[in-house]
Homo-oligomer: A and B are copies of this chain.
Amino acid sequence: MRQSKLFTKTRREAPTDEVSKNAKLLIRAGYIAKEMAGVYSFLPLGLRVLNKVMDIIREEMNAVGGQELRLSALQEPSAWAKTGRWQDDAIDVWFKTKLKNGNDIGLATTHEEPLTVIMKQHIASYKDLPVYAYQIQTKFRNELRAKSGLLRVREFIMKDMYSFSRDDAEHEKFYEKSKSAYKNVFDRVGLGDRTYITFASGGSFSKYSHEFQTISEAGEDIIYVDKEKHIAVNKEVYTDDVLKDLNLKKKELSLKKAIEVGNIFSLGTRFSEALGLSYKDKKGEDRLVVMGSYGIGPERVMGTVVEVLSDGKGIVWPESIAPFRIHLIDLSSGNKKVRDYAEELYEDLLQEKIEVLFDDRDVRAGEKFADADLIGIPYRAVVSEKTMEEGKIEVVDRKNGKTRMLAEAQLYSL
């Protein structure tokens, strides 16, 4: 895409009420716009990143047998009343509103109830199980405070998967599989080495739930990390009994602040019992379906990447989720030959199906470089009189600043 056509502009300053690093950088670079505290819109660059994060998640969920669907945000209260989660003291972040006839409805913060109700139409026999269904859909949460940019918001896209299994053994098998799928997601978005699977409280149906926590000073969670074993324990379950159970030693653990980028829960029969989701087993006897839920927030992942990977000059995107792969900078400053070559190179890159942002704007070199650093595309490719004399292109790696002079063909296989 031509930067002269991209309607978003970078800006020197973020809004004064914005305190988080991720929101400041993403707003300054033109990725997002703030509607109100905890509510952001995604501009073209931001949507490109978000789509890549969502596609990675989608691929990993499909790989473990997930079927994608899309549930409604508006929720009728009856199923939630049956599970005891309609009241604000059960889910304290409900946004509620009313139909014209005065009936209460809610904006879903999660979807165990409606999906369990839907499954009653489609699950009758053991032959219909297991089922793994997921969506990538907008959630609403009426957070009291929202000052962490994309890390704690009132409206956000979430990937939520739900598993429906015949029994605990079948459930456990998938639960372990989901851990690997999640690990793949965080590896692929560039957070793998600093993201720890973390033991957290499990609720009534299992000893633990598992969180995926990325070490960051911007995090709201406190975890105790065992670097050697690459696992962690959430402060909420950090007791002598739990450490013993997990075979962890206090002296090998270090306290860290972390961002919860994903979580997985065993739900047992909490929802299937309350809502009557059962199936006939091989003997023809009724049994309750065993459920689990598995969440990742793509926007929070995006915000976390900005928190932990950016530097003093701006954002540093991993290649896998960068809005473009190459930021081509035309430094022709009036030299038509250089200009023509930059245009030609842009067309060649498009031809090669390489995602390229072409800075064809008529602005100073310093401004182009500062914008490129702020926007954070992995490879900056500069074309100028000097590079043309050498018959090469100057490529700078955003991550480490290393500069190379490359031939055009080498650009295709960066």
Contact = CB atoms under 8 A, between A and B. Distances in A.
A365 interface: no
A63 B71 CA distance: 30
Interface in A117-149: 118-119, 121-123, 128, 131, 133, 138, 140, 142-144
A162 to B, nearest CB: 11
A167 interface: no
A49 to B, nearest CB: 11
A370 interface: no
A263 to B, nearest CB: 23
A123 B7 contact: yes
Nearest to A45: B69
A144 B99 CA distance: 8
Interface stretch (A35-43, A245-253, A342-350): A35-43
Nearest to A30: B122
Contact residues on A (Cβ < 8 Å of other chain), bracket: 35 or more
User: Which of A70, A122, A131 gathers the greatest number of chain B CB atoms within 10 Å?
Assistant: A70
Nearest to A119: B7
Nearest to A76: B36
Interface in A26-52: 30, 33, 35-36, 39-44, 46-47, 50
A39 B75 CA distance: 9
A204 interface: no
Contacts of A144: 100
A264 B304 CA distance: 39
A71 B41 contact: yes
A74 B123 contact: no
A142 B103 CA distance: 12
B72 A105 contact: no
Nearest to A94: B97
A6 B132 CA distance: 10
Q: Classify the secondary structure of A's interface with B.
A: mixed
Contact of A67 (B6, B36, B123): B6
B97 A107 contact: yes
Contact of A142 (B9, B100, B142): B100
Contacts of A71: 35, 41-42
Contact of A99 (B30, B67, B97, B142): B142
Nearest to A7: B131
Nearest to A131: B7
A47 B70 contact: yes
A7 B41 contact: no
A74 B118 contact: no
B7 A74 contact: no
Given A7-B131, A97-B107, 12 more contacts: A5-B65, A7-B122, A7-B128, A33-B121, A35-B114, A36-B74, A39-B74, A41-B69, A41-B118, A42-B69, A100-B144, A107-B107
28 contacts: A7-B119, A7-B128, A7-B131, A9-B122, A33-B121, A35-B71, A35-B76, A35-B114, A36-B74, A36-B105, A39-B74, A39-B76, A41-B114, A42-B69, A42-B71, A44-B67, A44-B69, A46-B69, A47-B68, A72-B155, A73-B155, A74-B140, A74-B154, A74-B155, A95-B97, A96-B97, A97-B107, A99-B142
